[in-house]
Structure 1
Amino acid sequence: MNDNQKLPAHVRFFLPIIEVLKNLGGSGSPSEIKDGLIELCHLSENELDEKLKTGITRIDNQIIWSKIYLTQAELIDSSNKDLWRLTEKGFKSNLSENDVKKLFKQIHSKFISKGLKKAKKSNVTEIETESEITEIPKHKEELLSILLSLSPEGFERICQRLLRASGFKKVVVTGKSGDGGIDGEGILEINALVSLKVVFQAKRYKDTVSASQIRDFRGAMQGRAEKGIIISTGRFTQDAQKEAIREGVPPIELVDGAKLVELFEQQELGLKRKTIYEIDIDFFEEYR
């Protein structure tokens, strides 16, 4: 790779990921890191919505590739898929743009070298490019697809089931027209003496939920409950997320498609746990 060759788009996230992790105290969940990148890099809604053929968003794809390179460079440890953390080397790093270019080329050359070895063994003449990758397990996409295919009433009832499994009591689906978008309500017991009435809205959306929809829901819940939850199969815009926690008004919990899948996983609703083993090729290298 010569110095004038254009670098892949994901390289732009190398330094921001390190900065976000430092701002988070050295570690963070993938969602926290993504939120930090959205704010730090001023990512637009159009960028966040753009998807590749596999269904993964282009931004998520680039973040995954950045994680792979930064892990290979021993700047971050992502052995726990739910928590990325800076290594000591990552904490002490103060990389320049030129350092980033050198880092990319160094790691990239290793990938190319491994790719050539595999290609020779299998008589393959072309090495795959890194244009598209997905670490999203197949069941996550399938689950979201199934939830989107449910009827509106069915999605409300499955949200009711999820809330019950998550510890809410007396969860009922109201689903009345003209009810300001409130689809149901329940009681969340904080402890033996304190409980909160909660109303929820179930949005079977493929697209984004806007700030105005958050405000409409908050208006409908005024005087009826202490807490509100909006559950969506889609994504909340940045303005919607800010509106949900705006000072001076009741906060609203937002559950987007990714978090919804996580909740189904935690409660094992409609999912069966499986253990899968993957061969660690590098482990055997010293024995060849």
Structure 2
Amino acid sequence: MSSTEAGSLAAVRYLDVTAGADGQRLDNYLITQLKGAPRTLVYRIIRKGEVRINKKRAKADTRLQTGDQVRVPPIRLTEKASQTPVGDSLRDLLQGDALIYENDAVLVLNKPAGLAVHGGSGVRVGLIEALRQVRPELDFLELVHRLDKDTSGCILLAKSRKALNILQDQLRAKQMGKFYQAWVLGNWPVELREVDAPIDRASSPSGERRMRIAEPGAGKASLTRFKILKRLGSLTLIEAEPVTGRTHQIRVHARFAGFPLLGDPKYGDEAINERFRRAGIGRMFLHARRLVFSDPLTGQRLTIEAPLDKSWKQVEQDKVKNHE
């Protein structure tokens, strides 16, 4: 093996499809099973006919059934693509305080700010990759929705293909409630209860993902409902409910209304963010506080809350200390 070849699956493998993967596309199944394998490699071995289902060639979008046998050819993984081990602190967090709810169908975690949900683009290991290492006994584990890297709070994962489909149907039908808390700059007016403004991608020379309020007739319809929870000097603590699910929706709508989020590195006030960073308060203050959905197993309506971390109290202490 050369110095760049860090991992190897050098023999033909035969994978038996379990109930958790029933109905899953072949390409997604292989990406999950061949941890560390680049997507380009997965699609190449399918296209060349080296992957077989029940001894027959198959396409990437073939839906698997319980009991199918999938033949996987020998493959080699480069160092870059090999699995990045989960650090002890993240492992302890995912096995301990971060887990706020679990049953046979779902997991709900309190994601810390600063942890990406997926690896890639300079992130060696994200939440989903780390959790699959920490919980290897789970045959299936997929994100139902996403959170920005800098956002903390409730994130929902499905433990079977059936559960994932049911929960994503709830999302599409707007039957899942997602409620966030945020510190914003300024005195949010009582009468401002929603922002209904389409959102579009903004051009960025650096390639950084940024969004903006769209020009008339462009963008995707976007609606966020807001409620005041507390005022503290020049800050307001708000609850935000994104009725639609656009990228950076709460952050863009709050900025458009004239009240950017405290600590927001893309749409916030850098001078104020820097003052709080000097006081040891460096995160973006957006937290997925509450998640409401129907249990895929029983249909029971569940309400799950994610505790706030100590930085939220630090904001109040800093404001009191500085008499603002």
- Structure ranking higher on relative contact order (CA contacts 8 Å, 6+ apart): 2
Whichever structure has more helix as a proportion of its residues is: 1
- Common fold: TM-score over 0.5: no
> TM-score normalized by structure 1?
0.29
- How high is the TM-score relative to the length of structure 2? 0.27
Structure ranking higher in strand proportion? 2
